[in-house]
Chains A and B, each alone.
Chain A
């Protein structure tokens, strides 16, 4: 009683299946582009969990009269700021004036090897005569955000998790930009934190 030897077709089938499995396993490794994968070889630990978030606190607004022609980013010739927080529209704006809107930003960035880009959008439509400037100041010893070369963007890592920053956007009214009695509509100041 010897076991019957397998037939030739069955052997071919088993050989073919083994080849397909080998090809599939090898091929799937070449095309992997998942975000949560590491650049290391297969078998290295991959990121599978984390958190990314930004939250803005209530905004304050202050109007500062600045002599026209001075640098909008400086305080040259400026008067004491007038608190206009809560106003839907600020009246009596002159050429050279600057409206400063400040909000406190809290960052949530948890995850291994996490990087993200923080973008501050002043909200002005295209062609707006106002000139915006963005400033981000750490609060209570928070680590500085990474620079990107652009005034309104920063790089965020997990090192910034839980830190707070004051985001101030100034809207400068240059001379000759707006006629007497004209108005500029309210706009949203938007902060976006996007994973890289």
Chain B
């Protein structure tokens, strides 16, 4: 019995060793490897923002850049709106019909002089031709001036709008100076435009179609006649009295007839006695001419001197026959 126990144990030991060998043999899928890893933190990023300010009014605005980086700007759109009392949409339409032009001048406080950096028509986009943006450095402030130029040849239409007020609303665009896709167009500036129409041209004097009204009048009233006239000159020194002059209607030297006081309306009253009869009897009476001239007192003297009265009328009167009445025959201005 004992001689068979030893081989059995031997076989069992061999089988156990075989099992250990099989279990200890690495399988084909085993891919064990060393790995080492380390890391550092990367900071987050916050994108900047365009901060573009527009302040001011009338025709000059102040542009500011507080973005923290350089900007470039340009006017993008110019719109016109009615403003002020009484200005209506019809007035706006009339203004737009004249085609006013808007020009923008960067860095200026007065728009006169050089041509604008940008131009636009009312209600339309500002001319974007070429590299049209103007730099606005970080932290900088710059002025922008707007000039409105009426269209040529529209004087008559503009005169109808004289004094009308309109608001010119300019939308400004700002982008980073270095480029990119960012753009801001939420800043605008309102300037007031008051139409200042050119004065009307002097009209040539028209030829009178009727005879001019006489500078003097003659009103006969029976035995008397009243001569009246207008007088616009000689205010310094002012006329104090008028001297009535007379001469025959056939001509000759003027002779002084009398002095009359200055009234509210210059006039002189004549009687039939102021028209002398001729030596041939009443039937031979002839017309006489009368005129007046201012009689001015010379300053600093008590004496009065005569002065010519150019432009004053000449009246022609006659006392016909033995009527003892006066008739006005003519008045020459």
Contact = CB atoms under 8 A, between A and B. Distances in A.
Interface in A113-139: 116, 122-123, 130
Contacts of A105: 38
Contact of B179 (A56, A69, A194, A195): A69
B48 interface: yes
Given A32-B26, A67-B179, A193-B35, A20 B15 contact: yes
Contact of B34 (A99, A171, A186, A195): A195
A4 interface: yes
Interface string B166-193: 0000000000101111100000000000
A31 interface: yes
A92 B179 contact: no
Interface stretch (A147-155, A157-165, A175-183): A175-183
Q: Is the interface of B mostly helix, strand, loop or mixed?
A: mixed
Contacts of B47: 93-95, 173, 178-183
A178 B205 CA distance: 74
A112 interface: no
Contacts of A13: 7-8, 10-11
A188 B42 contact: yes
Contacts of B41: 59, 186, 188-189
A90 B50 CA distance: 17
B333 to A, nearest CB: 84
Interface residues of B, number: 46
B34 to A, nearest CB: 4
B26 A33 contact: yes
Q: Is the interface of A mostly helix, strand, loop or mixed?
A: mixed
A181 B48 CA distance: 5
A123 B180 contact: no
B25 interface: yes
A21 B14 contact: yes
A189 B176 CA distance: 30
- Give the one of B22, B37, B45 with max A CB within 10 A: B45
Contacts, number: 194
Given A24-B21, A35-B30, A90-B43, A52 B36 contact: yes
A81 interface: no
A6 to B, nearest CB: 8
B18 interface: yes
Given A28-B21, A99-B43, A183-B44, A193 B178 contact: no
Given A13-B7, A53-B36, A188-B42, A28 B25 contact: yes
Contacts of B7: 10, 13-14
Contacts of A55: 38
A94 B69 contact: yes
A31 B25 contact: yes
Interface in B175-233: 176, 178-182
Given A180-B48, A181-B49, A67 B43 contact: no
A143 to B, nearest CB: 19
Nearest to A33: B28
Given A14-B7, A17-B11, A35-B33, A191 B21 contact: no
Nearest to A86: B43
A14 B7 CA distance: 7
A31 B28 contact: yes
28 contacts: A13-B11, A17-B10, A21-B14, A21-B18, A32-B25, A52-B35, A54-B37, A59-B40, A59-B41, A67-B179, A68-B178, A87-B43, A89-B46, A94-B47, A94-B176, A105-B38, A130-B45, A171-B42, A173-B45, A175-B179, A182-B47, A183-B46, A184-B44, A184-B45, A187-B44, A190-B39, A191-B37, A194-B33
Given A21-B18, A123-B39, A186-B41, 14 more contacts: A13-B10, A17-B11, A21-B14, A24-B18, A35-B31, A52-B36, A59-B42, A68-B181, A93-B45, A95-B181, A175-B180, A180-B47, A187-B42, A193-B36
Q: Top 5 nearest A-B pairs by Cβ distance?
A: A95-B180, A59-B40, A195-B33, A52-B34, A89-B44
